[in-house]
Structure 1
């Protein structure tokens, strides 16, 4: 992207704005690699701190999400991560009022089937306020899968969901087999990028 070692002030400003746009779309490892590559080309260390801030903050927050599953079973997201330890989890954040979310369900279901044998599981996590509507929509669109379909019960109180800014959905997260979030804004399930990302995990 950048030829030569020295950038003028305009080029440094353009680089900062480019990274500001791109960093949220990268996995944590990819973001670290990009920032390491370009950190000495930014105008000042404060810009690097700013670019690092949202990812670093998210990595420090415990996923304090209270879940309700199908049949009114209750648990916490951390317990779900414990139960699924050893698998990669692709978390599909959605709501019943979000038409793009619903349109992406077939792709998420296809992704679940295609990568199930490799240890990848899709979790459908709704941020709906109307829990009855959530379950109706989950059943209607075939995502009412036991132990894979949940609604967040504490959307307003959860520091984790606030940090994620779940008003911007659909949103996809990836957790590794050790329960760690590795991608805070993963590619959509119908994209070639998500297949490339998942395939690279198993190389």
Structure 2
């Protein structure tokens, strides 16, 4: 959930002080992932620091006040930086979050962020999002009070406190929107799935109706979607494990018309298995709209009678899916 929690930080407009004032950062990393570390502001690279002959990353550089992300390979930490800081970091990349320590000017704010990250990682977000509305809202309010309470007791930089509270509210708002969508999806469970008739990559058209008598696991995706592509190896493994059993794996592309040929080529070059279909009106396809799909990947599980088992099924990479399918598919 760490990646999700960071989303608001990546796009939230930071409180900034413009100018060319500098700060210094020094980082010691045991078991480092590479010889270069990066500071990013959202998607923009702010700084690259190469390791010196003592194994230390150190740099003095111009900075504007705000939130940044420090990357060592794929591991990262949120940092609050501002002119005048002289920040020292140490960590073991094998236990990145658990070993992250700060000293020097700016240590207090960044220690707070590191501790908050560990707290968030311990939260059971799946259980939180599965709560009915009253309990969910109560849990959200408890988290807000706990996080702001810790902040108030810490007596940190005023601008940092404002930025943190804004980010917290953005994250909680995102959770509420996600919860609302999950609750809407649950209402579709145990209802008849609407039919579709889509172009099949192998030729002709294929309908959902034609697959009655089998369980159907539907992957709604697009060629441009990174998280969708990341699920492909896991989906292929599922197809292999359940080959010959009473289940059909169906991938429905919502690529727009200009990417139609890209879809055809991608399916061929990546040797995608299962049933590969192209939605007739991409996002405006009746089937896509019926399930309220506005983000991908999205997975749907339907029973042999055409009834929705799970309108927001687990991803192929989630072990919960195999457990569920083992209990259904013979």
The answer to whether TM tops 0.5 is yes
Asked if residue 132 in structure 1 is aligned to residue 256 in structure 2, the reply is: no
2:297 equivalent in structure 1: 170
Cα distance, 1:167 vs. partner? 3.1
State the Cα RMSD in Å.
3.2
Distance 2:317 2:232 in 1: 9
Q: Please give the secondary structure, in 2, of the residue aligned with 1:68.
A: strand
Q: Does the 8 Å CA contact 1:90/1:120 hold for their aligned counterparts? A: yes
Asked if residue 197 in structure 1 is aligned to residue 290 in structure 2, the reply is: no
Distance 1:83 1:68 in 2: 13
> Where does structure 1 differ by over 4 angstroms across 4 or more consecutive aligned residues?
15-20, 57-62
1:118 equivalent in structure 2: 245
Cα distance, 1:83 vs. partner? 2.4
Asked if residue 107 in structure 1 is aligned to residue 238 in structure 2, the reply is: no
Computing the radius of gyration from Cα coordinates, the structure with the larger value is: 2
Q: Which runs of 5+ in 1 are unaligned?
A: 1-9, 25-50
Summarize the Cα distance change of 1:202–1:73 in structure 2 as closer, same or farther, 3 Å threshold.
Answer: closer
Question: Aligned ranges for residues 56-95 of structure 1 at < 5 Å?
Answer: 56=187, 63-75=194-206, 80-95=207-222
| TM-score, normalization by structure 2 | 0.42
2:280 equivalent in structure 1: 153
Q: Does the 8 Å CA contact 2:189/2:310 hold for their aligned counterparts? A: no
Q: Does the 8 Å CA contact 1:64/1:158 hold for their aligned counterparts? A: no
Summarize the Cα distance change of 1:155–1:65 in structure 2 as closer, same or farther, 3 Å threshold.
Answer: farther
Stretch of structure 1 that moved more, 91-100 or 149-158: 149-158
Summarize the Cα distance change of 1:180–1:97 in structure 2 as closer, same or farther, 3 Å threshold.
Answer: same
Cα distance, 1:144 vs. partner? 5.6
Summarize the Cα distance change of 1:116–1:144 in structure 2 as closer, same or farther, 3 Å threshold.
Answer: closer
Cα distance, 1:164 vs. partner? 2.5
Distance 2:265 2:233 in 1: 17
Structure number with the higher helix fraction is 1
Distance 2:136 2:312 in 1: 25
Structure number with the higher strand fraction is 2
Q: Please give the secondary structure, in 1, of the residue aligned with 2:309.
A: strand
Asked if residue 21 in structure 1 is aligned to residue 175 in structure 2, the reply is: no
Question: Aligned ranges for residues 5-16 of structure 1 at < 5 Å?
Answer: 13-14=137-138
Summarize the Cα distance change of 1:60–1:118 in structure 2 as closer, same or farther, 3 Å threshold.
Answer: closer
| TM-score, normalization by structure 1 | 0.66
Summarize the Cα distance change of 1:168–1:125 in structure 2 as closer, same or farther, 3 Å threshold.
Answer: same
Summarize the Cα distance change of 1:116–1:126 in structure 2 as closer, same or farther, 3 Å threshold.
Answer: same
